[in-house]
Chain A
């Protein structure tokens, strides 16, 4: 090993990242920064999407140049995933649950794994990313399989049906999480689940049911037997605090969506943050952001784990931007509510949230009338993740300003399963001809907006922040671009050729920092954006990965 400055930085960061686990006191701030690798979906288990690399920075970003690109060949549903990078190998997953390992310096494929569904099951057509750990790569499939692939050879090591898709009507749309030799997955179904399997052999370890059964605490928050079909789909992924030994996962809305007359009550544990013990799956605490959710706002997306002062005391925080356009700030040791702030400009589903966390002035949709609700049920923010920089203390949050009409339908009475529902029609916010979006730099705890970057369409790609004081993301017209983390000024932009839906990341290889981003529209929501923007039909479909670096003489 040669001790270049970057290598030393790498080790310093690694030590800093590991030290809190063994810390004697609880005052040491958790470090969620990545270094040479990008080991997890959210960067680290703390989900900052922040890198300590600064070879590429505000002074040289203008010279950032394409280094390589790779076409996956899996075009139909684009590229919505986030790469994981370990030891210079870039692991990517595609919509059909193919996994490809690329040489991080050249983009040359090392191996490719193509998931084959069992006979009779449809091929998966969406994938948000993968996890790497214990020498294996893990992917979820839409047909409800969890697959482990040997990270060296690309050969399948094991796969397990996390319930029979055709029976449980369940599937896994999220990203697996590897914690302490377990791989943890979330799934949909008549009752949502979080399940852990042994990374080595795929054997079942534990399962948490999102909805308590009769006799269990919380079942009385459901009307009659409505709990049986309450769902609470688990469809994103979790964060992990190694010091507290807790994983944090979110749950989706109660069913039926919108029509709620037959599920009176708070409907636990839907639309909630769950803090689980990763060894046992036992619930340590929960916090329900949206009791009795009638808008499909869930509690999902990133749980950004930071240590910051709140009202004069340093607290271990969990920061969660919700679909409804508010960010919740909780104490992640206890689940105590510490505050919320609004990040969307157009909200009318509630009038506000009081100091105890109670939703004030609820605007629940009603059957038999058009219910104009802002934001829309795809969310003031989609599942693409924000990024947190410890240098600025800012959470860089992509925000979509769209509304919808909710039209409710009561149960048909034909089957016990048909308990009503509804539909939604996208609408522009009041006073606007169509939707719009912005990327905001918000104080992560107070929500104070330092700057905003405006965009005329929607922002559907995850954000990356770096120690080079840069904030990266991509837009639906194909640009991948960098903003100054302090001012929001656009410093660099590159037309990659297709819309962005995935998550760009950064890594260091052979002394060179790379920025790598998925390229290609990858979600039906983009297809359906044509309701607001007819020109969305021009947003290009692709499935590629593109890497950037400084020219040889610049690094």
Chain B
């Protein structure tokens, strides 16, 4: 196999991660807690210093803090945390160390514009954790959050009927051996077809030799996927989409 080589440049990956709007995380991590769990061993409680240098009130610059937390310091015990922590935790702990150095959260720049208050209920429904795999975000991603099974949302239907009956022409019918299932093609490369199997939720990204995966027009309905939401809930989700989709 030739897949040994890293095709993704880590730096580019990091830039993508850094470019995430901070406000997509509705359940913000607590930076102090992340720091407490991961950093106090060496840097002491509140960054007061321990076996590793103190971090509080050192006049450290924001870019230096981000750099060192993400990538570590070579030839020291400081590891890179960019790929050890979840993204919310990483943001939170970077913000916490910045606060220790008198730097408050940045405004503008990478921070997404705040959603209007009327869009909040819709956002909560879109990403609803209680519905688990029956929420919109099981198949749709907004600002990097959610699983991007479906293509990026670029237009917002004008009403609930339009949302329910959304044309789903990208969902095909796949036939593989004796199995038939609704599918979204993810990639077709080098004789391999990768399909999201939409038989149930969550969708499964399956890989087949292109020669065995037969694709035809599908009869899949968006309405069947969103039946866990009432009309009133879908109205709220539309409000959110109108605010969130550029």
Contacts and interface: CB of A to CB of B under 8 A. Distances in A.
Contact of A165 (B6, B86, B200): B86
B13 to A, nearest CB: 7
B118 interface: no
Given A122-B17, A160-B205, A417-B28, A537 B77 contact: yes
B231 interface: no
Interface in B197-242: 197, 199-207
A112 interface: yes
Interface stretch (A197-205, A317-325, A329-337, A460-468): A197-205
A423 interface: yes
Interface string A390-409: 00000000000000000101
Interface string B78-100: 01101111111110000000000
A116 B51 contact: no
A162 B145 CA distance: 14
A423 B17 contact: no
B40 interface: yes
B36 A126 contact: no
Interface stretch (A79-87, A512-520, A523-531): A523-531
A117 B148 CA distance: 13
Contacts of B40: 423-425
Contacts of B29: 169
Contacts of B37: 423
A458 to B, nearest CB: 14
B54 interface: no
A230 to B, nearest CB: 13
Contacts of A207: 132
Range class of the A interface residue count: 35 or more
Contacts of A73: 4
B195 to A, nearest CB: 10
26 contacts: A76-B80, A111-B1, A112-B1, A114-B3, A117-B13, A119-B16, A120-B20, A121-B17, A122-B82, A122-B83, A123-B10, A158-B197, A158-B204, A161-B147, A166-B24, A166-B25, A189-B129, A203-B204, A409-B36, A417-B30, A421-B32, A421-B36, A422-B36, A423-B36, A425-B44, A527-B77
Interface of B: 1, 3-4, 6-8, 10, 13, 16-17, 20, 24-25, 27-30, 32-33, 35-38, 40-42, 44-45, 50-51, 77, 79-80, 82-90, 127, 129, 132-133, 137-138, 144-148, 179, 192, 197, 199-207
A-B pairs with lowest CB-CB distance, top 9? A423-B36, A202-B204, A528-B41, A158-B206, A421-B33, A125-B83, A166-B145, A122-B83, A125-B84
